[in-house]
């Protein structure tokens, strides 16, 4: 067992070979290796990182580009052909080693929708068990509760490796921002931290922070480290999976290369039971397509032998898009996050953290969110919700692959009708977070637009052979109207009474931009960022006839011994930052795999 940086001490085969040592790969690898007779290999292109930058929560928000993929997009058709960029973790722990540490759960309707789209066993009641199993909440001290007014519920948490608690510091400008929500705008402050399936309102959401050391807990710290000395669990770092090898429609192992090469140093590692793809929503479809599992039209173009024509591989891409409006605060100064750019203040904060584990370094991002429904933002909610399914030519707003494969369009229509139902029935879809020193950040958490991920060559290297990524963002007219509502709402919020004393000034786009069509034009040209680092959906768990890639047990259609366990399987993106839902899904996946293994 242990950490490997070359092939010399690997076993000749493993029961399970897992591609990707990010969130899902580590959860599944750790759980499967709990049975001492089961051998597991995790292959991860990145390496372990033990620097302060990833451990100290405040620094979580400063990106470590050496630990990430920076995946550019193709020119985005509905965003004036701008090029977007997707950041992804490229290190042991994947996204959880570099992410913003927000712990937030999906709402009941988000998970029930997966069942409505044809995957029994994934409803809220079921997934709630795994939200519970994967996590643990630590109650903040009475002093902090009194000082900041933290509200939370411990019900809904178990004793799992993903911690949730609060920093022991909040920037003072958060409090007028909270007053603006509650006193001025009249939204309720939820007492339950939004952990129980109902998200409407304003609440304190937790952070994945170790409650004693106040440092980041990644999937590596929470899951892998405690299991790292198991003799049956190996991790090969600095290497990547280039393809899945199949024989007679059965996965028999993978091809592995060193991270610095796509031509030399390849070996094939056999899997006795299963290959599990956990390389994330961009690289899992890449591996599948290079293995001959994907849309035949695409595979033929690159002369990849078709092993299974599965059009959904790479389609159905979803992320949360963010509408950026920037502010400056003229008064009173300094009481916000901006202070950290002052060297003296920063150094004092670092010294305080190192000495006492207190102060601004314990806080990655603000903990307060408001999540609102369409009816919260407009009186015309019914008409607007009706427009979700009322498209004259859906293919004109979808990536071209949808045109060649009718089941993709069927699946998309099924999704829109489920989404319309949720949104008409008051599900939350807008997310607002006070970004200290930056004003109110807002995200569209239930997008109707869809993107796609496709190989651009047969080079298997995740960086050199990088995929074509089309975010597809801002394509569906409903998303545009929703963004316009969020934009206007943000302006209203920023002028509320409690925020007056901060003297907010809208800098971009500025108050000169007022007419709806001008706002929309600025959104397309500049304000909309097509990602909040939450890519999902590219190997969706849906029926094959709806363009799905995996069944409700996460098995790839048509290939025995091959599963996907990562954010690619989410058929619809939840109303949540994706780590907590991913931990829950990966825990459930491990139980499914183990359950089947027992029957062998």
Ligand X SMILES: Cc1cc2nc3c(=O)[nH]c(=O)nc-3n(C[C@H](O)[C@H](O)[C@H](O)COP(=O)(O)OP(=O)(O)OC[C@H]3O[C@@H](n4cnc5c(N)ncnc54)[C@H](O)[C@@H]3O)c2cc1C
Closest separation between CB of residue 89 and ligand X, Å?
Answer: 5
Using the minimum distance from each CB to ligand X, give the nearer residue, 470 or 566.
Answer: 566
- Cα separation, 539 vs 536, whole angstroms: 8
473 in Cβ contact with 317 (< 8 Å)? no
155 Cβ partners below 8 Å, 6+ apart?
Answer: 192, 195, 196
CA-closest candidate to residue 417, choices 451, 391, 393: 391
SS (H, E, C) 505-530: EEEECCCCCCCHHHHHHHHHHHHEEC
For the bound state, the minimum distance from the C-beta of residue 67 to ligand X, rounded and expressed in Å, comes to 9
CA nearest neighbour of 294 among 306, 281, 282: 306
The span from the CA of 530 to the CA of 240, in Å, is 27
DSSP notation for 147-167? HH------TT--S-SEEEB--
Q: CB of residue 318 vs ligand X: minimum separation in angstroms?
A: 12
Nearer to ligand X, 185 or 361 (CB): 361
Cα gap 600→591, rounded to integer Å: 15
Cβ distance to ligand X smaller for residue 498 or 532: 532
Nearer of residues 218 and 420 to ligand X, judged by Cβ: 218
Alpha helices (H) in 270-429, listed in sequence order = 280-290, 296-301, 343-356, 374-377, 381-386, 401-404, 406-424
Nearest approach in angstroms of CB 278 to ligand X is 5
The residues that bridge with 323 in the sheet, in sequence order, are 442, 528
Nearer to ligand X by Cβ, of 334 and 465: the residue is: 465
The residue (of 420 and 578) whose beta carbon lies closer to ligand X is: 578
Beta carbon nearer to ligand X, 90 or 136:
90
Structure tokens at 528: 């909309």
Q: Least Å distance between CB 240 and ligand X?
A: 3
Interface positions with ligand X (CB under 6 A): 19-24, 43-46, 87-90, 94-96, 98-102, 240-241, 278-281, 283, 287, 462, 533-534, 566-567, 577-580, 582
**Three-class SS state of 492:** helix
Nearest CB to ligand X, comparing residues 230 and 461: 461
Angle (CA) 109-114-119 rounded to 5° is 145
To ligand X, the closest distance from the beta carbon of 558 in angstroms equals 21
Q: How far apart are CA 587 and CA 131, in angstroms?
A: 9
Cα 41 → chain centroid: 24
- Minimum distance of ligand X from residue 529's CB (angstroms): 13
> Least distance to ligand X from the beta carbon of 455, Å?
12
Strands (DSSP E) contained in 118-175 are: 135-137, 162-164
Q: How far is the CB of 41 from ligand X (least distance, A)?
A: 11
For ligand X, give the closer residue by CB, 480 or 562: 562
- Give the shortest CB-514-to-ligand X separation in angstroms: 33
Other Cβ atoms closer than 10 A to 362: 25
Q: Which is nearer to ligand X, 24 or 378 (CB)?
A: 24
Cβ neighbourhood burial of 172 (10 Å; 0-12, 13-18, 19+): exposed
Which residues fall within 8 angstroms of residue 136, CB to CB, at 6 or more apart? Answer: 157, 158, 159, 160, 161, 162, 163, 164
Task: Give whichever of 14 and 240 is closer to ligand X, judged by the CB atom.
Answer: 240
Question: For tokens 């902090």, what's the residue?
Answer: 144
Least distance between ligand X and beta carbon 19 (Å):
5
The residue of the chain with the least Cβ separation from ligand X equals 22
- The string of DSSP codes covering 186-224 is -PPBPSSTT-SS---EEEE-EE-B-TTT--B--HIIIII
């Amino acid at each position: 067992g242990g950490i490997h940086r070359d092939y010399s001490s690997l076993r000749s085969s493993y029961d399970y070979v897992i591609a990707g040592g990010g969130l899902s790969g580590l959860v599944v690898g750790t759980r499967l290796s709990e049975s001492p007779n089961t051998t597991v290999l995790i292959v991860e292109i990145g390496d372990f990182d033990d620097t302060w930058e990833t451990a100290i929560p405040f620094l979580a928000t400063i990106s470590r580009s050496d630990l990430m993929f920076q995946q550019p997009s193709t020119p985005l058709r509905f965003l004036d052909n701008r090029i977007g960029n997707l950041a992804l973790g490229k290190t042991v722990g994947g996204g959880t080693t570099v992410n913003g540490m927000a712990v937030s759960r999906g709402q009941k309707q988000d998970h029930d929708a997966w069942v409505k789209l044809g995957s029994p066993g994934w409803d809220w009641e079921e997934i709630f068990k795994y939200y519970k199993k994967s996590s643990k909440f630590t109650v903040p001290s009475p002093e902090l509760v009194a000082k900041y007014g933290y509200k939370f519920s411990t019900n809904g948490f178990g004793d799992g490796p993903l911690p949730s608690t609060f920093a022991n510091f909040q920037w003072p400008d958060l409090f007028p921002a909270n007053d603006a929500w509650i006193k001025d705008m009249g939204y309720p402050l939820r007492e339950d931290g939004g952990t129980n399936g109902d998200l409407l309102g304003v609440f304190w959401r937790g952070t994945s922070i170790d409650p004693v050391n106040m440092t980041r807990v990644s999937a590596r710290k929470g899951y892998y480290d405690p299991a790292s000395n198991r003799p049956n669990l190996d991790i090969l770092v600095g290497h990547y999976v280039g393809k899945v090898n199949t024989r007679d429609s059965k996965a028999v192992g993978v091809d592995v290369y060193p991270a610095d090469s796509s031509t030399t140093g390849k070996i094939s590692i056999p899997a006795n039971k299963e290959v599990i793809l956990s390389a994330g929503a961009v690289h899992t479809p890449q591996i599948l397509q290079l293995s001959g599992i994907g849309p035949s039209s695409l595979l033929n173009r690159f002369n990849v032998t078709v092993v299974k024509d599965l059009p959904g591989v790479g389609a159905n891409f979803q992320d949360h898009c963010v509408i950026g409006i920037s502010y400056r605060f003229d008064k009173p100064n300094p009481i916000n996050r901006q202070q950290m750019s002052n060297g003296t203040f920063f150094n004092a904060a670092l010294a305080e953290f190192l000495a006492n584990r207190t102060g601004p370094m314990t806080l990655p991002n603000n903990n307060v969110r408001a999540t609102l429904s369409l009816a919260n933002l407009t009186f015309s909610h019914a008409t607007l919700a009706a427009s979700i399914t009322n498209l004259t030519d859906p293919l004109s707003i979808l990536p071209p692959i949808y045109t060649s494969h009718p089941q993709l369009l069927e699946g998309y229509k099924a999704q829109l009708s489920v989404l319309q139902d949720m949104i008409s029935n008051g599900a939350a879809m807008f997310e607002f977070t006070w970004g200290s020193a930056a004003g109110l950040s807002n995200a569209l958490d239930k997008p109707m637009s869809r993107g796609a991920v496709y190989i651009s060559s047969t080079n298997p290297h995740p960086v050199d052979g990088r995929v074509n990524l089309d975010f597809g963002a801002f394509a569906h007219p409903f998303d545009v109207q929703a963004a316009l509502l969020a934009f206007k709402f943000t302006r209203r919020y920023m002028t509320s009474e409690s925020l007056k004393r901060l003297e907010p000034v809208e800098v971009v786009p500025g108050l000169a931009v007022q007419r709806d069509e001008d706002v929309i034009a600025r959104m397309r040209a500049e304000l909309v960022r097509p990602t909040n680092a939450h890519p999902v959906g590219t190997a969706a768990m849906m029926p094959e006839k709806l363009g799905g890639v995996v069944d409700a047990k996460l098995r790839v259609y048509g290939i025995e011994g091959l599963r996907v366990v990562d954010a690619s399987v989410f058929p619809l993106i939840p109303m949540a930052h994706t780590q907590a839902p991913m931990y829950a899904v990966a825990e459930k996946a491990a139980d499914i795999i183990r359950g089947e293994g027992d029957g062998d």
